[in-house]
Amino acid sequence: MLILECPYCGVAAEETELAAGGEAHLTRFGPGSSDDDFETYMFMRENPKGVNFERWRHANGCGKWFHAARCTMTLEVFGTYSAQTYEPPADLIKAIKKKRPDWPGYGAHK
Amino acid sequence: MRRYSAFAIAREAARYHQGWERAWAAPEPKKKYDVIIVGAGGHGLATAFYLGKNFGITNVAIIEKGWLGGGNTGRNTTIIRSNYLQDPSAAIYEKARSLYETMSQDLNYNVMFSPRGVMMLAQTESEIRGYQRTAHANAYQGVSTEFISPQRVKELCPIMNIDGPRYPVLGALWQPRGGTARHDAVAWGYARACSDMGMDIIQKCEVTGVRSEGGKVVGVDTSKGAIDCNKLAVVVAGHSSDLAQMAGFRLPMESVALQALVSEPIKPCMDVVVMANTVHGYMSQSDKGEMVIGGGTDAFNNYTQRGSFHHIEETVRALVETFPMVSRLKMLRQWGGIVDVTGDRSPIITKTPVQNMFINAGWGTGGFKAIPGSGWAMAELVAKGEPGPLSAEFGMNRFIEGRFIDESVAAGVAH
Ligand SMILES: Cc1cc2nc3c(=O)[nH]c(=O)nc-3n(C[C@H](O)[C@H](O)[C@H](O)COP(=O)(O)OP(=O)(O)OC[C@H]3O[C@@H](n4cnc5c(N)ncnc54)[C@H](O)[C@@H]3O)c2cc1C
Ligand SMILES: [Zn+2]
Write the pLDDT tens digit of every residue in B333-383. Answer: 999 999 999 989 999 999 999 999 999 999 999 999 999 999 999 999 999
Chain B residues within an 8 Å CB radius of A73: 303-304
Q: Is B354 left (phi over 0), alpha (psi -120 to 50) or beta?
A: beta
Residue A22 to chain B, least CA–CA distance (Å): 7
- Rounded to the nearest 10 degrees, the angle between the axes of helix B42-55 and helix B183-196 is 40
Mean pLDDT of chain B: 95
Q: Which atom of ligand 1 is nearest to the CA of B42?
A: 25
Range B348-387 burial, b when 16+ CB lie within 10 A, else e? bbbbbebebbbbbbbbbbbbbbbbbbbbbbbbbbbbeeeb
E strand map for B277-370: 281-285, 290-301, 331-342, 348-351, 357-361
Mean pLDDT, to the nearest integer, of A68-97? 97
Nearest to B242 among A19, A36, A49 (CB): A49
How far apart, in whole angstroms, are the C-alpha atoms of residue B89 and residue B373?
11
- Phi and psi (nearest 5°) for B223? -70, -10
Hey, what's the torsion of the CAs at B70, B225, B382, B59, to 10 degrees?
Answer: -100
CB contact under 8 A, A2 and B255: no
CB contact set of B288 (below 8 Å; sequence gap of 6+): B265
Give the binding-site residues of ligand 1, using a 6 Å CB cut-off.
B 38-44, 63-66, 70-73, 75-79, 206-207, 235-237, 239, 258-260, 294, 337, 339, 363, 365-369, 415
> In this predicted structure, what is the pLDDT of residue A110?
59
Number of helices (H), then strands (E), belonging to chain A: the values are 2, 6
CB contact under 8 A, A72 and B301: yes
Chain B residues within an 8 Å CB radius of A44: 250-252
CB contact under 8 A, A45 and B310: no
Tell me the best of B335, B365, B376 to mutate to test the pocket of ligand 1, counting ligand atoms within 8 Å of each CB and taking the most.
B365
Query: How many CB pairs lie under 8 A apart between chains A and B?
Result: 65
Give per-residue pLDDT as tens, B191-222.
Answer: 999 999 999 999 999 999 999 999 999 999 99
The yes-or-no verdict on residue B40 having pLDDT over 60 is yes
Residue B134 to chain A, least CA–CA distance (Å): 26
How far apart, in whole angstroms, are the C-alpha atoms of residue B144 and residue B259?
29
The helix/strand/coil state of B5 is: coil
Question: Quick one: DSSP state of residue B165?
Answer: S
C-alpha distances in Å from residue B294, one per residue of B46, B111, B335 = 25, 21, 10
Mutation target vs A (from B65, B297, B400, B405; most A CBs, 10 A cutoff): B400
Nearest to A20 among B239, B253, B300 (CB): B300
Percent of chain B with pLDDT over 70: 98
CB atoms within 10 A of CB B287: 11
CB atoms within 10 A of CB B248: 13
For residue A59, the ligand closest to its alpha carbon is: 2
Distance, first Cα to last Cα, chain A: 30
Give per-residue pLDDT as tens, B296-309.
Answer: 899 999 999 988 88
The yes-or-no verdict on residue A84 having pLDDT over 90 is yes
Tell me the best of B186, B194, B236 to mutate to test the pocket of ligand 1, counting ligand atoms within 8 Å of each CB and taking the most.
B236
For residue B206, the ligand closest to its alpha carbon is: 1
CB atoms within 10 A of CB A53: 22
Task: Evaluate whether B138 touches B90 at the Cβ level (below 8 Å).
Answer: yes
From B344, B17, B54, select the one nearest B193 (Cα to Cα): B54
Banded pLDDT at A1 (limits 50, 70, 90):
confident
How far apart, in whole angstroms, are the C-alpha atoms of residue B187 and residue B70?
9
Chain B residues within an 8 Å CB radius of A48: 241, 245
Range B188-213 burial, b when 16+ CB lie within 10 A, else e? bbbbbbbbbbebbbbbebebeebbbe
Taken in order of first residue, the domains within chain B and their CATH numbers are 28-115+179-252+344-415 (3.50.50.60), 116-178+255-342 (3.30.9.10)
Task: Evaluate whether B57 touches B231 at the Cβ level (below 8 Å).
Answer: no
- Whether the CA torsion B8, B13, B15, B17 is positive or negative: it is positive
Alpha carbon nearest to ligand 1 atom 35, residue: B39
pTM comes to 0.96
* Topology at the third CATH level for domain A3-99: Folate-binding fold (3.30.2270)
Mean pLDDT, to the nearest integer, of B151-178? 96
CB atoms within 10 A of CB B19: 11
CB contact under 8 A, B400 and A20: no
Chain B residues within an 8 Å CB radius of A45: 241, 250-254
Task: Evaluate whether A68 touches A83 at the Cβ level (below 8 Å).
Answer: no
How far apart, in whole angstroms, are the C-alpha atoms of residue B203 and residue B62?
8
This model of the complex carries an ipTM of 0.95
Residue B402 to chain A, least CA–CA distance (Å): 9
CB contact set of A91 (below 8 Å; sequence gap of 6+): none
CB contact set of A90 (below 8 Å; sequence gap of 6+): none
Percent of chain B with pLDDT over 90: 91
Find the angle CA(B184)-CA(B253)-CA(A100) to the nearest 5 degrees: 95
Give per-residue pLDDT as tens, B226-277.
Answer: 999 999 999 999 999 999 999 999 999 999 999 999 999 999 999 999 999 8
What's the B18 CA to ligand 1 centre distance in angstroms? Answer: 34
CB contact under 8 A, A20 and B310: no
From B302, B207, B236, B32, select the one nearest A54 (Cα to Cα): B302
Q: Which helix (H) or strand (E) holds B112?
A: none
CB contact under 8 A, B250 and A44: yes
For chain B, list residues whose CB is within 8 angstroms of any CB belonging to chain A.
Answer: 239, 241-242, 245, 250-255, 298-304, 308-310, 342-343, 399-400
How far apart, in whole angstroms, are the C-alpha atoms of residue B70 and residue B188?
11
For residue B100, the ligand closest to its alpha carbon is: 1
CB contact under 8 A, B310 and A15: yes
> In this predicted structure, what is the pLDDT of residue B414?
53
Mean pLDDT, to the nearest integer, of B18-42? 97
How far apart, in whole angstroms, are the C-alpha atoms of residue B87 and residue A67?
40
Banded pLDDT at B409 (limits 50, 70, 90):
low
What's the A16 CA to ligand 2 centre distance in angstroms? Answer: 13
Q: Which atom of ligand 1 is nearest to the CA of B74?
A: 29
The yes-or-no verdict on residue B410 having pLDDT over 60 is no
For residue B84, the ligand closest to its alpha carbon is: 1
Q: Which atom of ligand 1 is nearest to the CA of B363?
A: 19
What's the B188 CA to ligand 1 centre distance in angstroms? Answer: 14
Q: Which atom of ligand 1 is nearest to the CA of B208?
A: 41
How far apart, in whole angstroms, are the C-alpha atoms of residue B395 and residue B107?
29
User: What does DSSP say about strands B207-213 and B216-222: parallel, antiparallel, or unpaired?
Assistant: antiparallel
